Structure 1
């Protein structure tokens, strides 16, 4: 029963993250880059929060990225008037179900869920490849498809930045048909920042946890040296 409830809880995220055996590009970003995470947060609230919520994240937590509360209010708060409010989705769930056939999943922990769930690669790599793999498909209701997630119900949310790609039927490679506002290199950097924010959002304290872990290991190593020296001094007359 417990396993069934866990599966039911994560079913929407797993559906979003499903895909075939495709090559995944390595995510080039890092959760240590505060400037990149700030840009990723801006992209998230502008291009993702209209449909996907981050309902386990509060706006106030964004101050841990080096932003002031006023900067968060002025630039990132679109779905709440309180700094302590949750980053809830802007659209109603009944409207989303009508538009897309299903309610888009919450993205708070999607990077962690994808990384822990399958054999197709880490969550960050999957998201980084997925968001850059949309192409025009007139046979789909939204007019979009995705190499990583075939027949996805979501249209390309970043098409204005990326442009419009098409898929060659013979080589199955993606080609740029209509350029976007950003160059390919600039777009890849923007997607990297966005993925970085989603990775950070799944565990905002991960950098602190890693740093604390190194301090603990260093303390244990020092304690071992002191303990060993004490043991030798205590037993020197016996041995």
Structure 2
């Protein structure tokens, strides 16, 4: 991992880093593309851009072998904050140091995709929109702001990939009070290009979010398959129970 990535990640350890409540911005639907390639790329992005500050202490590195990765691939490409593949995915920075230096311990991301689910959308929708709506704001300490979490303290850790953007605001009449004017979001303005095109960045973000969704419940697919078999067996049991009941009451009559 290069030095610039480490510095960007360390900047994220500031008060208010915790994902806050939605600021009212509509959530985009995250593309559901949980293929092995998508999940493997998401794991790589998570380790490079999230794991320096955020732990995923409910996940072990060796569980990534479920994504088709070998033990050697995990050791070579993903094992930065541990010595053995069987260890938990803990952050590279000690919680005690984070608390002492910044006054806050960054939240664990093991189940963040499930924790952020709401009536407005899934946790995946929340994270997908959040990670794609950062914009440059010189009034903020980090120089960044976010549409989903206004006045967010976390900087845009993937700004080099997305590029620098600002937002356009238009003045409109307040629908609740015609005597007042409100500022409304009217789109982004690209200041500098990123290393990825907008489509490539959206795809990479979807991979990262898909991995966090998988990480929140790695056994989800197994559970669904088992559920189908359980329902099938229960249907057979109900059929036999009905036939037995029919036969019993026939004799009673």
Alignment TM-score, normalising by the size of structure 1: 0.86
Distance (Å, rounded) in 2 between the aligned partners of 1:13 and 1:145: 12
Residue 138 of structure 1 aligns with which residue?
A: 138
Distance (Å, rounded) in 2 between the aligned partners of 1:95 and 1:137: 28
Residue 190 of structure 1 aligns with which residue?
A: 204
Give the unaligned 5+ runs of structure 1.
1-11
Correspondent of 2:240 among 223, 226, 238: 226
Distance (Å, rounded) in 1 between the aligned partners of 2:23 and 2:144: 17
1:1-239 correspondence runs (5 A)? 15-31=18-34, 33-93=35-95, 96=98, 102-115=104-117, 118-170=118-170, 172=185, 173-239=187-253
Give the unaligned 5+ runs of structure 2.
1-14, 171-183
Residues 146 and 152, structure 1, Cα contact 8 Å, conserved in 2: yes
Residues 56 and 89, structure 2, Cα contact 8 Å, conserved in 1: yes
Which deviates more from structure 2 when the two are superposed, residues 176-185 or residues 138-147? 176-185
Residues 100 and 154, structure 1, Cα contact 8 Å, conserved in 2: no
The SS at the match of 1:164 is: strand
Distance (Å, rounded) in 1 between the aligned partners of 2:236 and 2:201: 47
Residues 17 and 153, structure 2, Cα contact 8 Å, conserved in 1: no
Which deviates more from structure 2 when the two are superposed, residues 220-229 or residues 89-98? 89-98
Which is strand-richer, 1 or 2? 2
**Number of residue pairs matched?**
225
Distance (Å, rounded) in 1 between the aligned partners of 2:226 and 2:136: 46
* Superposition CA RMSD, Å: 2.2
Which is helix-richer, 1 or 2? 1
Deviations along 1:35-80, one digit per CA (max 9) or x if unpaired, are: 2111100110011111111122110111111211111111111111
Residue 4 of structure 1 aligns with which residue?
A: none
Residues 49 and 90, structure 1, Cα contact 8 Å, conserved in 2: yes
* Higher Rg of the two aligned structures: 2
Residue 4 of structure 2 aligns with which residue?
A: none
Deviations along 1:65-120, one digit per CA (max 9) or x if unpaired, are: 121111111111111111111111112445545776633211111111111xx444
